[in-house]
Amino acid sequence: MDIADWRKKIDALDQEILRLLNERAHAAMEIGKIKETTHAAVYEPDRERTIFANLHKANHGPLTNHDLTQIYGHLISIMRDLQTRR
């Protein structure tokens, strides 16, 4: 494959990542509604540790576990914010 082919592949992957991010955001918002009705805390550090542990266990690179922690740390922060938006 040449650079143009790789860029087409990246563009297609970006579209799929976008779809999945929005699907994840929708799920986070639904969880936020449940937390609101049950008066549960939005911030759950144990759940975040579980997410990171699951990602690290499944990771086969080339992203490092540190890379994933940075990416998902920011992602989780945004999702947590979505849970409190009205």
According to the model, what pLDDT value does residue 85 have?
A: 83
According to the model, what pLDDT value does residue 47 have?
A: 96
The percentage of residues in the chain with a pLDDT greater than 90, rounded to a whole number, is 97
**Six-digit token string for 77:** 């922060």
- Provide long-range contacts, Cβ within 8 A and 24+ apart, for 45-51: 48/76, 51/76
Calpha distance 36→1 (Å, rounded): 50
Classified by CATH at the fold level, domain 3-84 comes out as Chorismate Mutase Domain, subunit A (1.20.59)
Confidence of residue 76 (pLDDT cuts 50, 70, 90): very high
**pLDDT, tens digit (0-9, with 9 covering 90-100), for 28-70:** 999 999 999 999 999 999 999 999 999 999 999 999 999 999 9
Kindly report whether the global pTM for this prediction surpasses the value 0.85.
Answer: yes
Give ∠ CA 47-63-11 in degrees, rounded to 5. Answer: 100
According to the model, what pLDDT value does residue 86 have?
A: 62
B/e letters for 47-63, b = 16+ CB within 10 Å, e = fewer, are eeeebbeeeeeeeeeee
Q: What are the boundaries of each domain within the chain?
A: 3-84
